[in-house]
Chains A and B, each alone.
Chain A
């Protein structure tokens, strides 16, 4: 009985993993195919689609823009979330609970709606530069992740350690940076990493806020795909997978998975 159950669970697990991973593996395989269109199984083996990535200016530009936006947005989100989380965790009252929900709200708004409303308000109405609008959109994507993890980190930390620092002669600001911040670095970094990954992979907001010289990598890939169906897309997807995988491994090694689950 017990072993039957065991076997059953194993089969379920393997099937689930297969459905999750097979499409990804398929992409990696097709990126090496010599046919001019994406096909499986592949007939010949070539690296030329990888070389083609670097021949496409939109990909290179998109990658740089994505990197810039993701980095700036996650940094500013972390910088904004840190003092906000501090203020929200000092006292538990109705106002603070409400504000906490406001901070987490962007996750609950469909990203298409977020993208469209930013487009119509910032770009069309207020004539903000596209890059600034894009950055603001991604800041909103990042904020809930940073805020949530930092709030959780601060709640877990015993507030009396900070009080001990004050009594031992530290000002509030110095206590904050010398005692609180060093003890919640895991939360800050996990929030930053989650923000970065979400911003880098985001399409709905980026689509609305992209234009002639401002294109994020995912939107560049979408645009490319509308005109070409060659394995360059598979190649760049494989590269992104590898990059994300390395990123996650690094995070797991330095921070442990705990930071992402809490």
Chain B
């Protein structure tokens, strides 16, 4: 396996619309990095450019420090798992897995030995003689994984490999990929639009939007400290308050005229955000200084099992808050919302 460096990758089909814009990535040897973003953000295009299926207009791709930008796709020694599985319909499972080895001129008995080992690892040794059309989606994806791993590629790409599977299989398959990745110390680049899938599996995450990387950080950092409003929105933050200006290092004047204290936010933040579950709903006005307290009226509630989700009308617009299901506030109820200053995050544009 190997380390991957992508420098200033850019792509445009017509010279006007920029599909990819200055993409920079660093993937360490043995690390799993995810490209996360909504459809059309360029994550798959980025992956395909690195794999060599699309030619980028600009930029370099280094594998272990060696520039491979000009190397043909079939000489790059990569592996790829496709969303559509992309198995060869006219070959049985064993021949599908053996395909890449035969291209590398691996001969019997080594060929069969390697194929069997790999099929054993993905639990499909008994299905050797079956054809792809005789397998379920999950089994097909496991064949695809075995096929791309057996050639011992420098890098493994996974392009939304779980999207076509049902929810239970998706979790199983995800855990299997992560377990194999850690056991064999593989370097993987994983494309997904599903944030929970992404956090469960990745060491680092690159959140993409409109052809650029908005934030490239560890999973934990992305989750707790999103850098921009786009990233925050994408990973589940729902309340955003525009900042007119910062009054000092901790106090921010909001567009609506309120002043919020946000302990950790940078002074040049353009907006503040908070997760719905971090807002406290109070029935009476607390006797404290009244800072970060906002009166509101419950508009609507949704029962989520372990909690209630409320839409609350306030001077700052509709605020989404989630509280434990011990107590339910009916629609029309007047409440007070407490925004703990340490939970308010500052975001850049």
User: Which residue numbers of A lie inside 8 Å of B, CB to CB?
Assistant: 158, 160-161, 163-172, 174-175, 179, 182-183
Contact = CB atoms under 8 A, between A and B. Distances in A.
Contact of B82 (A164, A166, A172, A183): A164
B29 to A, nearest CB: 20
Contact of A160 (B73, B74, B82, B99): B82
Chain A at the B interface: SS class: helix
B51 interface: yes
B38 interface: no
B53 A170 contact: no
B195 to A, nearest CB: 25
B151 A164 contact: no
Contact of B90 (A169, A171, A182): A182
B103 A167 contact: no
A163 B47 CA distance: 13
A167 B74 contact: yes
Interface string B71-83: 0111111111010
B99 A165 contact: yes
Contacts of A183: 88-90
B100 interface: yes
A169 B84 contact: no
Given A160-B84, A168-B148, 5 more contacts: A164-B88, A168-B99, A171-B74, A179-B88, A183-B89
B79 A161 contact: no
A166 B73 contact: yes
A167 B87 contact: no
A171 B75 CA distance: 9
A161 B73 contact: no
A5 to B, nearest CB: 39
A163 B44 CA distance: 14
B200 interface: no
Given A160-B82, A164-B80, A164-B82, A169 B87 contact: no
B90 A163 contact: no
Contacts of B148: 164, 167-168
B226 to A, nearest CB: 33
A169 B104 contact: yes
A7 B69 CA distance: 71
Contacts of B179: none
Contacts of B261: none
A245 B144 CA distance: 43
Interface residues of B, number: 27
Across the A-B interface, the 8 shortest Cβ-Cβ residue pairs: A169-B103, A168-B100, A160-B86, A164-B86, A182-B90, A161-B86, A160-B82, A167-B80
14 contacts: A161-B89, A164-B87, A164-B147, A165-B99, A166-B73, A167-B53, A167-B79, A168-B74, A168-B100, A168-B151, A169-B77, A169-B104, A182-B90, A183-B89
B86 A163 contact: yes
Interface string B91-135: 000000001100110000000000000000000000000000000
B161 to A, nearest CB: 12
A158 B90 CA distance: 13
A166 B99 contact: no
A179 B102 CA distance: 14
Interface string B272-310: 000000000000000000000000000000000000000
Nearest to B132: A161
A261 B75 CA distance: 41
A158 B86 contact: yes
A169 B86 contact: no
A157 to B, nearest CB: 8
B84 A166 contact: no
Nearest to B150: A168
B250 to A, nearest CB: 52
A88 B144 CA distance: 28
Contacts of B52: 166-167
A173 to B, nearest CB: 10
B51 A167 contact: yes
Contacts of A166: 52-53, 73-74
A167 B78 contact: yes
Contact of B103 (A163, A168, A172): A168
A170 B103 contact: yes
A165 B88 contact: yes
A226 B88 CA distance: 57
A160 to B, nearest CB: 4
B23 to A, nearest CB: 20
Contacts of A175: 74
Nearest to B78: A167
A182 B76 CA distance: 25
Contact of B147 (A160, A168, A179): A168
A104 B76 CA distance: 39
